[in-house]
Structure 1
Amino acid sequence: MTERTDVYDAAKRSAVMRRVKGRDTTPEMTVRRALTGLGARYRLHRKDLPGRPDIVMPGRRLALFVHGCFWHGHDCARGSRVPKANREYWTAKVARNRARDLAAREALAAAGWRVETLWECDLKDAVALRARLAELLAPSPRVGDDG
């Protein structure tokens, strides 16, 4: 039996990839609804910031990335799965995504931003998500404050 290297021809693969959304995804909308429920105000996809974070809270200097586990190579079951067809392509693509994510995080941190990544697999537990977001939104104690 011969192994199939690709399910689609190049034109079909390109058409499929064009339909993959980069914004307003289900995980992103889940986070946005939770933030709104907590009374947070935010901006979306700021082009003037490195990596164009999905959610930005300028007053808090907080940038949130909402990552799909597969696309960004998370270490969960879904993120560590590599398609059987065209393995080299997918391995290289995810590696490029991870390198780009790291560069964006470092650039934002160097500019004084707090950067958090919320993974698709972590969004399934609504209570835990809300608690994590509330913790991120809580004012941080100032150095030297005793109270």
Structure 2
Amino acid sequence: MASIKSTNTKPELIAFAELKARGVTFQKHYDKAPGKPDVAKPRKRLAVFIDGDFWHGRELQRVIAKYGEGSYWVNKLQRNIARDAEQVDQLISIGWQVLRVWESDIKRTRTRTATLDAVEAFLRSRD
């Protein structure tokens, strides 16, 4: 798992380029906030996470069907989901607003525009 890329993934690079092209300013991988948001506007306390479908549990039911409840992978993904929720709670408790989007919604051409429109609107919401 050490070789799994955690920053500058393809969906992140797509999102970064598109947001920049739209004139949205932001910081990448903001490490001063809980969870190290992929996209952040610290002064406005806005955080966006671009979650990998597998690692963040979008496909949890498929993993349960394949490996069974209580397996290593199911437990790992459930811990990841709990950690994500805790990070969101921490951010909210210190006044941040949080948006989470799935990597597949950025990778798929048919959902990319709507997803990035939502991210842009969120990042401009406190302008």
* TM-score for both structures, normalised by structure 1: 0.73
Q: Find the counterpart in structure 1 of residue 44 from structure 2.
A: 60
Matched, 1:137 2:120: no
Matched, 1:80 2:66: no
1:107-118 paired onto structure 2 within 5 Å: 107-118=90-101
Q: Find the counterpart in structure 1 of residue 27 from structure 2.
A: 43
Q: Find the counterpart in structure 1 of residue 17 from structure 2.
A: 33
Structure showing the higher helix proportion among its residues:
2
Q: Residues of 1 paired with 2:86 and 2:118: CA distance?
A: 24
- Kindly, what percent of the aligned residue pairs are identical? 34
Q: CA deviation at 1:79?
A: 5.0
Choose 1 or 2 for highest CA Rg. 1
Q: Residues of 1 paired with 2:29 and 2:116: CA distance?
A: 21
Alignment-mate amino acid for residue 94 of structure 2: A
* TM-score for both structures, normalised by structure 2: 0.84
Q: Residues of 1 paired with 2:60 and 2:16: CA distance?
A: 22
- The size of the alignment, in residue pairs, is 122
Q: CA RMSD, aligned part only? A: 2.1
Q: Deviations over 1:22-58 (max 9, x none)?
A: 1111111121112112211111222221111111111
Answer whether contact 1:71 1:79 (CA < 8 A) is retained. no
Alignment-mate amino acid for residue 79 of structure 2: R
Matched, 1:119 2:102: yes
Answer whether contact 2:57 2:81 (CA < 8 A) is retained. yes
| Larger RCO (CA within 8 A; separation ≥ 6) | 2
